Amino acid sequence: MSLDVAGLRRSFPIFSRIPPPFHYLDNAATGQICAAAAEALTGFEMAGRANVKRGVYRLADRATQAFAEARGRIARYLGANRPEEVILTTGTTFGLNLAAHVLEERLGPGDTILISRLEHHSNIVPWQMLARRRGARLRALGVTADGRLDLADLDNGIDRSTRIVALTHCSNVTGAVTDLAPVAERARAVGALLVVDGAQRVPHGPLEVSGLGCDIYALSGHKMFGATGAGALWVRWELLETLPPFLGGGEMIRRVRIEDTRYAPPPHRFEAGTPPIGPAIAMGAAAEWLSGLDWQAIAAHEKSLTSRLLTGLETLPGVRICGPRDLQARFGVVAFEVEGVHAHDVCQMLDAFGVCTRGGHHCAQPLMEVFGTVATVRASLAPYNDAADVDALLEGLEQVIRTLR
């Protein structure tokens, strides 16, 4: 069954508001907001705005209920065992920093944190900071020539000193999907915790996070067609119950005295202060909307578009694809460079054709070093993209190459 892309595009307000040509291919940076999320956000801000968890009047009660329902919707989309496993955050970066702080007491001198050269800076820098605070070592798994995690490094990378393994589920540069099963098995064997950056995976359909073998999973709302400013951190319940709070303040307490404080149970223990209420409600609405889509048809559609993009790029002179050239275990995130032309110049010229792409190191400088470059152009697909978007990119790029090379 083919995907009704035109019908799907009608669920995204931006496509009826920006005149053509408009070819949005920067979805790895942020997806467009779906109508369900936009309506939930404006509905709260215009007719339901109140603080949550403490008010006893009806408006505050409704806001608290909507916030709780958002947590439940996100938990269902993730396949969590219970809503309380989901901490509502401001995004993946905050979630990974939260994880690094609450796991601090489990680390000491001589212990190891394992990441990879495939990671976004948000899954590198917090672990560097933690390693320095605790006198631990930070090590990185290698990357294959086509931009996939080198699982051959696994046995050498994970040993008895390993306490934390932090890896991306899907690369924001190459689109390569990490096979988490062997990583989880090896981590469990040495008693290490597995933390996963799921920001690039969550727009591609519901998960069964409790079956991935990981202990912590971070994500952002704006990547999954919700509002900016919201995210979630899923933590396996047995682990979550044992963790200390990250930030102190209102709403994360049971009882405060000058002498000491008793903390609230999870997840409230990790949600100090007023949360991003509207964005979280919008994220919940996006999760609910995404759950109702035909993901088999979407996967086939995105694979077809990825094939069209890769095939087209390979025909253009001076273009080098940085990442997998096949369609196995990957999503539609494709990075490339044009010989002798900076990625920013390519992107700016493509904009004249109405094509929106991303140029730079994509917060993945160690991976750029692997590819022997400082910047690439990145085109990233979403379910609302179609063949016309890909063709506009390829036609525009052909003109750019003729002009600049």
DSSP state of 263: E
Predicted pLDDT of residue 388: 98
Sheet holding 112-116, edge to edge: 86-89, 231-235, 216-220, 193-197, 162-168, 112-116, 137-141
Rounded alpha-carbon distances, angstroms, from residue 216 to 165, 172, 182, 211: 10, 19, 16, 12
Mean pLDDT of 24-29: 98
Query: Residue 256 pairs with which residues in a beta bridge?
Result: 261
Predicted pLDDT of residue 267: 98
- The answer to whether the CB of 384 falls within 8 A of the CB of 32 is yes
Predicted pLDDT of residue 54: 86
Please count the other Cβ atoms lying within 10 Å of the Cβ belonging to residue 382: 24
Mean pLDDT of 70-98: 98
Mean pLDDT of 389-399: 98
Domains and CATH numbers, the chain: 5-32+294-404 (3.90.1150.10), 38-291 (3.40.640.10)
Catalytically active residues are 363
Confidence label for 2 from pLDDT (cuts 50, 70 and 90): confident
Burial class of residue 114 (count of CB atoms within 10 Å of its CB; 0-12, 13-18, 19+):
buried
Kind of pairing, strands 112-116 and 162-168?
parallel
Predicted pLDDT of residue 51: 97
Confidence label for 1 from pLDDT (cuts 50, 70 and 90): low
The backbone torsions φ and ψ at residue 3, rounded to the nearest 5 degrees and listed phi first, read -85, 135
- Average pLDDT of the chain is 97
User: How many Cα atoms sit within 13 Å of 232 on the Cβ side?
Assistant: 34
The backbone torsions φ and ψ at residue 358, rounded to the nearest 5 degrees and listed phi first, read -115, 135
Q: What is the dihedral of CA 33, 35, 41, 42, to 10 degrees?
A: 120
CA dist 56 and 279 (Å) reads: 22
Q: For 300-356, how does the pLDDT look when each residue is reduced to its tens digit (9 = 90+)? A: 999 999 999 999 999 999 999 999 999 999 999 999 999 999 999 999 999 999 999
Q: For 281-306, how does the pLDDT look when each residue is reduced to its tens digit (9 = 90+)? A: 999 999 999 999 999 999 999 999 99
Tokens of 277: 């209420």
- The answer to whether the CB of 227 falls within 8 A of the CB of 287 is no
Residues in the chain: 405
Indicate whether 394 pLDDT > 70: yes
Predicted pLDDT of residue 155: 87
The amino acid sitting at 194 is L
- The answer to whether the CB of 332 falls within 8 A of the CB of 324 is no
Q: For 135-169, how does the pLDDT look when each residue is reduced to its tens digit (9 = 90+)? A: 999 999 999 999 999 999 898 899 999 999 999 99
Terminal Cα-to-Cα distance of the chain (whole angstroms): 42
Please count the other Cβ atoms lying within 10 Å of the Cβ belonging to residue 91: 24
Indicate whether 253 pLDDT > 70: yes
